[in-house]
Amino acid sequence: MSQPAFEFDDAEPDDGGELTYSVCELAEAINDQFRRGFRGGLWVRGEINGLQHRGPHTYFSLVEDGDDGKGVLRVQLFAPAKRRLTPILKRANLELRDGMKVRIRGVLDYWAQGGSVGLKMAEIDPRYTLGDIAQSRDEVMRRLVASGLIDLNKRRPMSPIPLRVGVATSVDSAAWADFRSELSASGFAFELTVADTRVQGDGADRMVAGAIGTLARGAREGVLDVIVVIRGGGARNELAVFDSARIAQTIAAAPIPVLTGLGHETDRSIADEVAHTALKTPTACAGALIERVAAYTVGVEAAFEAIVRRSLATTDGAERRLHDTARRIAGRANAAVERADERLTMRQARLATLVPAALDRSTARLAAAAVRLGERSTSITERERSRLDLFAARVDAVDPGVQLARGWTITRNADGEIVRSAADLSPGDALTTDFLDGRSTSVIDTVNLHPVPAPSGDTESDPNR
Q: Tell whether 143 and 289 lie within a shared domain.
A: yes
Chain-wide mean pLDDT for the chain?
82
From CA 226, how far away is CA 206, in angstroms rounded? 21
29-43, 279-293, 339-353: segment of lowest average pLDDT: 29-43
Whether residue 232 is contained in a domain is answered as: yes
Q: pLDDT tens digits for 85-96?
A: 888 888 877 778
Q: Kindly tell me the number of DSSP H helices and DSSP E strands found in the chain.
A: 10, 13
- Encode pLDDT of 136-148 as tens digits: 776 777 787 777 7
Does the residue 181 lie in any domain?
Answer: yes
pLDDT value of position 8: 46
Average pLDDT of the residues in 306-334? 87
Which of 122-126, 211-215, 388-392 has the largest mean confidence? 211-215
Residues 94 and 210 in one domain: no
- Residue 52 falls within a domain, yes or no? yes
Count of domains for the chain: 3
- Digit-coded pLDDT (tens) for 339-367: 888 888 888 888 888 888 888 888 888 88
SS3 category, 93 = coil
Q: CATH number for the domain including 265? A: 3.40.50.11400
Asked whether residue 203 is domain-assigned, the answer is yes
pLDDT band at residue 282 using 50, 70 and 90 as cut-offs: very high
Q: Strand (E) positions, 242-387?
A: 258-261, 277-279
Considering only the C-alpha atoms of the chain, give the largest distance between any 2 of them, rounded to a whole number of Å: 212
Q: Which residues pair with 261 in a beta bridge?
A: 230, 279
Predicted pLDDT of residue 211: 92
* Residues 376, 464: Cα–Cα separation, whole Å: 44
Could you tell me if residue 354 is inside a domain? no
Residue 451 lies in a domain: yes
Q: Quote the pLDDT of residue 267.
A: 63
Q: How far is CA 97 from CA 143, 152, 264, 345, in A?
A: 26, 33, 18, 116
pTM: 0.49
Residue 37 has pLDDT above 90, yes or no: no
What is the predicted pLDDT for the residue at 161? 92
- 161 and 232 in a common domain: yes
* Whether residue 85 is found in the same domain as residue 196: no
How many angstroms separate the CA atoms of 168 and 192, rounded? 11
Is 174 found in the same domain as 262?
A: yes
| 210 and 69 within one domain | no
Render pLDDT for 405-449 as a digit per residue (tens, 0 to 9).
Answer: 778 888 998 888 888 888 888 898 888 988 878 889 999 988 888
Whether 318 maps to a domain, the answer reads no
Instruction: Residue 95: give its domain's CATH number.
Output: 2.40.50.140
Measuring CA to CA, which residue among 250, 284, 305 is closest to residue 179?
284
> Residues 6 or more apart from 294 whose CB is under 8 A from it?
186, 188
Type and span of the H or E element at 70:
strand 69-77
> Is pLDDT above 60 for 206?
yes
Max mean pLDDT among 78-87, 184-193, 195-204, 238-247 falls in 184-193
Co-location of 30 and 80 in the same domain? yes
Residues 187, 89 share a domain? no
How high is the pLDDT of residue 135? 67
Asked if the model's pLDDT at residue 24 lies above 60, the reply is yes
- Which residues, at least 6 apart from 262, have a Cβ–Cβ distance to it below 8 Å? 229, 230, 231, 239, 242, 269, 271, 272, 278
Beta-carbon contacts of residue 289 (< 8 Å; ≥ 6 apart): 162, 165, 183, 190, 226, 228, 259
User: Does residue 143 share a domain with residue 118?
Assistant: no
Of 231, 261, 294, the position where a domain reaches its end is: 294
Its domain, for residue 419, covers 399-465
Residue 377: pLDDT above 90?
Answer: no
The answer to whether residues 75 and 219 belong to one domain is: no
> Does any domain span residue 350?
no
Give 127's pLDDT tier (boundaries 50, 70, 90). confident
Pair (186, 271) in one structural domain:
yes
Task: Using the predicted structure, report yes or no on whether residue 306 has a pLDDT greater than 90.
Answer: no
CA–CA distance from 95 to each of 118, 163, 242 (Å)?
22, 37, 16
227 shares a domain with 103: no
The last residue of a domain, from among 251, 267, 294 = 294
* Whether residue 179 has pLDDT greater than 90: yes
Please tell me the predicted confidence (pLDDT) of residue 235. Answer: 66
Q: Which of residues 294, 328, 353 is at a domain's end?
A: 294
